[in-house]
A and B are shown apart, each in its own frame.
Chain A
Amino acid sequence: MPTVLIADDDIPNRLVLQAILERQGYCVLQADDGVQAVDVFRREHPDLVLMDIKMPNMDGYEATRQIKAMSTDAFIPVIFLTATSDSEGLARCVASGGDDFFTKPYNRILLQARISALLRIRELYNTVQYQRNELDNHQKRFDREKQLAKRLFTNITETGSLGLPYVQSMLSPMSLFSGDILLAAPKPSGGLHVLLGDFTGHGLAAAIGALPVSSVFYGMTAKGYSIAEIVTEINTKLKMILPTDMFLAACVIDLNPGSHTLSVWNGGIPSVVIYGEKEQDIIRSLSPRHLPLGIASDESFNQRVEMIEIRQDDRIYIHSDGITEVANPDGLMFGRQRLEDIFIKNTDSAELFNEIRSELIKFQDGGAQQDDMTMIELRYNQQQLEDTVFHDKAQSKRAEQPSSEWDFSMGLSADLLGCFDPLPLLIQSVCDMQGFRGQRQQLYTVFSELFTNALDHGILNLDSTLKGTADGFAKYYMEREVRLSNLTDGSIKIYVAHQPSAEGGLLTIRVEDTGSGFDYQENQISLESNVGHSGRGIQLLNTICEKIEHMGNGNIVEVTYRWR
């Protein structure tokens, strides 16, 4: 039952009140004056106070002020008991913190009604207070967990290599967790893979989806898989785990300094813009060709990649739709046209990225952010791209494997060559057997050059001089695809052997194709002096390998690679 404190120096008065209240079932506490009232209040925490005004030692106004000051985080109703009904006196009651007043002589029924009304308010106040505290605690706990999750999320998704000299990027999430992701990883063969993705929705749910995406992206890139294989794998994973109404719009690119090519798979991300350094203008716009990831079934998924030639200092821009959907305070959207205008008006390409960023901020003009905004600029610089070092963490752990003797061979027939890339498997097997501390990238280059030569020239009979011109370049890769899909004859044999040596080992790789070969004695000199597109492969092998030897009628090539 609620406890009521009666503060009154008039004993008969108190007894009358006590009788009324106890009959209603309240517990009653009593005080003779203001000082005692404050004291009893502090000790007993009553639920309601009935306060006389004129009392010795401390009057009712002061006692009320002190009681109210003591109970800031709870509502303790104080009802003044007064003989007069002059308005000035009543106003003072309220000013000192009183909640109601009651005029003598006491009407039992009215008094009871006033007390229960105030106690009901007190109950309501306490409930609100309790709920507010609960909410506050939940919020604090949630914030703490979010911060923790955010750190985990950052560790997993940002193990990549943004912060490269030729890359500028902005990620502007609208909540703690971004529904946009931006991943970049150097390839073991040199060059770079980049993924810009935009999940349906924002926040935690979107962020959870980002975890498998980044682990597939980094894992498969490090093992040498192509972007077509990577998007296929991500699509399968997301299709399995995401609900129907959630997907990942994504653009994945492969920047390849060896062949000066840009390969793009774009599913649901606004067009990729190529800005020509020479033209000082947009020279290509690669529109999204595919459904976003996580929608198509394995059978209907389209992994087709577009490949174009890219020239030194050309710039590549990829952005999420949050950029063009930035709204100003009037709700007007930034739109594609304004973005294009920046490219058209620009006079200094080095400043393009900053211009876009500042135009966006200017346009937004303090308006609320509606969506995650992500944009990346890549400047194609062959040297810097080739110098991008590939850190193979998994590999360095196994560095102390003893050098041992082993060999294996692999044969690939025409139907397999058309649909299977053996390079990731080969590199993985070789590195698993031997460790090859930090040499994965070089090994990848060796295997890749040898295999590509055997396939393109030995089996597919492609003419590499085609690649000399921009036009022929695209023709070369189109023709390659056609011939590969129609391939019925031919095979490639790969033989790999390893011999330990005092300081490391000697790796021999022999690749043999069923093609007609070429006159290698005649061509040796011209090949080595050739610095054009087509000769780069042999030149590169010469700098990495100890020995390169052609055999048979030029259809067999054997290289020796020494490692320490």
Chain B
Amino acid sequence: MSVTSEVSTDDNTITIKISGRFDFAEQNEFRDCYYDTSPSENTQFIIDMSGANYMDSSALGMLLMMREYLGGNAANISIINCSPDIKNILTVANFQSLFTMD
């Protein structure tokens, strides 16, 4: 039930780790992870789902907000380490066309 973020200074990536349920309750924590960052053009955002066991459609909405905030099509966001259930939710919504997924 938490969201943490890590900034790696050397290779210009920001990793956001999600654990537990990824839903509306995490909205503020999640937003804070990218709101106050000052990303340069080639900053890569990585959302690490290895600890997440569930996400709902409001979490999909939160991902869309993040993408828009970081420049829409110009945003560089990867979603990694999805469990099969989470991957299914993302692919049913065809989010692989908006985010880089492994």
Contact = CB atoms under 8 A, between A and B. Distances in A.
Interface stretch (B10-18, B44-52, B61-69): B61-69
A198 B60 CA distance: 13
B94 interface: yes
A200 B60 contact: yes
Interface-centre pick from B57, B60, B91, B93 (highest chain A CB count, 10 A): B57
A295 B64 CA distance: 8
A186 interface: no
Contacts of A201: 57-58, 61
Given A198-B57, A200-B60, A201-B58, A245 B65 contact: yes
Nearest to A245: B61
Given A244-B68, A291-B98, A268 B93 contact: yes
Contacts of B95: 291
Interface in B56-99: 56-58, 60-62, 64-65, 68, 88-89, 91-95, 97-98
A247 B94 contact: no
Contacts of B60: 200, 247
Contacts of A295: 64, 98
A336 B60 CA distance: 20
Contacts of A198: 57
A129 B40 CA distance: 56
Interface SS of chain A: loop
Interface SS of chain B: helix
Contacts of B88: 336
B92 A269 contact: yes
A292 B65 contact: no
B71 to A, nearest CB: 13
Contacts of A247: 60-61, 64
Interface string A281-311: 0000001111110010000000000000000
A85 to B, nearest CB: 55
A288 B96 CA distance: 12
Interface string A332-354: 00001000000000000000000
A11 to B, nearest CB: 67
A200 B61 contact: yes
B57 A249 contact: yes
Given A201-B58, A291-B98, A244 B92 contact: no
Contacts of A268: 92-94
B26 to A, nearest CB: 13
B47 to A, nearest CB: 15
Nearest to A201: B58
Contact of B92 (A200, A245, A270, A371): A270
Contacts of B98: 291, 295
B94 A244 contact: no
A515 interface: no
Interface string B6-30: 0000000000000000000000000
A371 B92 CA distance: 17
Interface-centre pick from B92, B97, B98 (highest chain A CB count, 10 A): B92
Given A198-B57, A201-B57, A245 B62 contact: yes
A151 B58 CA distance: 27
A512 interface: no
Contact of B93 (A246, A288, A336, A371): A288
A291 B94 contact: yes
A270 B61 CA distance: 18
B88 to A, nearest CB: 8
B92 A288 contact: yes
Contact of A244 (B57, B65, B91, B97): B65
Nearest to A199: B57
A267 interface: yes
A321 interface: yes
Interface-centre pick from A245, A268, A291, A321 (highest chain B CB count, 10 A): A245
Given A200-B57, A245-B64, A247-B60, 4 more contacts: A244-B65, A268-B94, A291-B98, A295-B64
Task: Give the 4 A-B residue pairs with the shortest CB-CB distance, closest first.
Answer: A245-B61, A268-B93, A200-B57, A245-B65
18 contacts: A200-B57, A200-B60, A200-B61, A201-B57, A244-B68, A245-B61, A245-B62, A246-B61, A249-B93, A267-B94, A268-B93, A268-B94, A288-B92, A291-B93, A292-B94, A295-B98, A321-B89, A336-B88
Interface of A: 198, 200-201, 244-247, 249, 267-270, 287-292, 295, 321, 336, 371
